[in-house]
Structure 1
Amino acid sequence: MDLLKLREQYRSGKRYKYIYFWGHVEKQPSIITKSCFSQWYPSHFEVDNIYYPTAEHYMMAEKARLFGDEEILSKILTANSPGLAKSLGRQVKGFIPDIWDAHCFNIVINGNFAKFSQNPKLTDFILSTKQRILVEASPVDKIWGIGLSMDDPNIDNPLMWRGKNLLGFALMNVRQQLQEKL
């Protein structure tokens, strides 16, 4: 599923159930909620024996690797917060937007597959969403989110979304991979 297909199906009358998320802070840390879908959610995992405290760290590390910036890569891997990792990711030398655009979606899928597959409670949670459309209801992010807040009257209409919802679609891809492993 992607935004074009979702919009096409919406135009033809098909309706889906959505799960909207935005933010990474749990109200009760012992209970998994939709905040686990955030790139900033604290849930460590390893890929190729490298530790990542969040999916944001993984994404920014892969950005540095893609462009061969070893200095920034080492700083990202030791960053004490996802915000710092993101800030460092913006400093990657040799960054070329078209190259990043061609790789970033699969990078986010790979990082989130590691995150959700290595943490059984997260695996259970994402699988519990069944076939619902996962939507990052970020009013400020028009790439990874939809550019609308959860209380926007147009939120249930993908024709009105201002953003691409790449994070939501990446997570749905992860969910499908996990379902296929069952």
Structure 2
Amino acid sequence: MDRPEDHKLRRSGRCPHCNAKLESKILASTRNLLEQFERSPNMTVSFFFNGHKGDTKDNGVKNPTGELRPTWMFSNFAQIPVSVQNPHNGVVLPFASAEAAFQAGKYLSRQDIISDLQVAYKGGECRKIARRFKSSNVSGWIKHGLNVKWMRVVTYCKFLQCENLRSILMQTGERRLVEDSPFDSFWGIGKDRKGTNMLGVILMEIRAQFLQDACTNALGEVHPETSAVIQGSAVRKGFVAAYTDFKKTRVKCLTGELQ
């Protein structure tokens, strides 16, 4: 049975054994994906939460529309540790996945809920926890776009804190990234494939900034926990703008300035 300290190490990304397995899985999936690109240079890169495991048999296989099957590491449900700084009190919060960090954005002043999310490893668990405390959601989460603003912050942190993950994102080049969910027409493209694909849009926005900095050799060392120390010009500006935008909007919602 796992000890409590083992859970803390895993979710904070400080477990050497887990990190080694994760890096190996990312590199294997990267090789698989690059082989697909060689065969089909202009293919859309699609991902979906039920393909979050790197060893899934669907990984890298074409679906009936000719797009790539879900690419597990781009999914929020991928169990890739991410740490975000809580704008409510400045505390750095480690999570086992981007989904857990995203759901925590609704309850940044509730340490009890955050603690539950910090020990949740599966995306489904995170959503269940969030639904259980739905009445405690921060005001304006959807109405004033806090959901999109926080997703952008979490996604920045996820890719800034893992070099191999950042590398494969950049290697997708200018290909379209699609959250291929038949159940979600906002974060994904929905059943009719005409959805907003907001998660894919955010990924492509951040990718463009990484590529811009890579071209100018501007992307420097990244702080392993907070992502606060970023030398890259485009990425630094993008991350700071996203974090500040969320923080200011959240305050306005909490104070009633935004109804």
TM bracket, shorter-chain basis? 0.7 to 0.9
Question: What SS does the corresponding residue of 1:144 show, helix, strand or coil?
Answer: coil
Matches within 5 A, 1:67-78: 68-78=109-119
Question: What SS does the corresponding residue of 1:109 show, helix, strand or coil?
Answer: helix
Aligned length: 152
Instruction: Specify every segment of 5 or more residues in structure 2 that has no aligned partner in the other structure, as ranges.
Output: 1-41, 61-69, 86-91, 215-259
Kept after mapping to 1: 8 A contact 2:83/2:95: yes
Q: CA RMSD in A?
A: 2.5
Kept after mapping to 1: 8 A contact 2:187/2:196: yes
Q: CA deviation at 1:26?
A: 1.2
**Which of the residues 172, 182, 186 maps onto 1:139?**
182
Q: CA deviation at 1:78?
A: 2.3
Question: In 2, distance between residues paired with 1:75 and 1:146?
Answer: 30
Question: What SS does the corresponding residue of 2:167 show, helix, strand or coil?
Answer: helix
| 1:133–1:73 distance in 2 versus 1, CA, 3 Å | same
| 1:146–1:97 distance in 2 versus 1, CA, 3 Å | farther
AA matched with 1:56: E
| 1:170–1:87 distance in 2 versus 1, CA, 3 Å | same
**Which of the residues 50, 66, 72 maps onto 1:35?**
72
Task: Deviation per CA, 1:5-40: give whole Å up to 9, x if none.
Answer: xxxxxxxxxxx8521221211127xx9982111001
Question: What SS does the corresponding residue of 2:152 show, helix, strand or coil?
Answer: helix
**Which of the residues 136, 139, 146 maps onto 1:94?**
136
Task: Deviation per CA, 1:100-149: give whole Å up to 9, x if none.
Answer: 3411112111111111111111011100111111111111111111113x
AA matched with 1:71: D
AA matched with 1:47: V
Task: Deviation per CA, 1:152-181: give whole Å up to 9, x if none.
Answer: xxxxxxxx6342111111111221232233
- 1:180 correspondence with 2:212: yes
| Matched residue, 1:125 | 168
Question: In 1, distance between residues paired with 2:209 and 2:107?
Answer: 26
Larger Rg: 2
Kept after mapping to 1: 8 A contact 2:106/2:141: no
Kept after mapping to 2: 8 A contact 1:45/1:52: yes
Kept after mapping to 2: 8 A contact 1:24/1:38: yes
**Which of the residues 35, 38, 47 maps onto 2:84?**
47
AA matched with 1:133: R
TM-score (norm 2): 0.53
Kept after mapping to 1: 8 A contact 2:107/2:136: no
Q: CA deviation at 1:74?
A: 2.2
Identity of aligned residues (%): 26
Q: Which has the higher contact order (CA 8 A, sep 6+)?
A: 1
AA matched with 2:147: C
Instruction: Specify every segment of 5 or more residues in structure 1 that has no aligned partner in the other structure, as ranges.
Output: 1-15, 149-159
AA matched with 1:87: K
Question: What SS does the corresponding residue of 1:20 show, helix, strand or coil?
Answer: strand
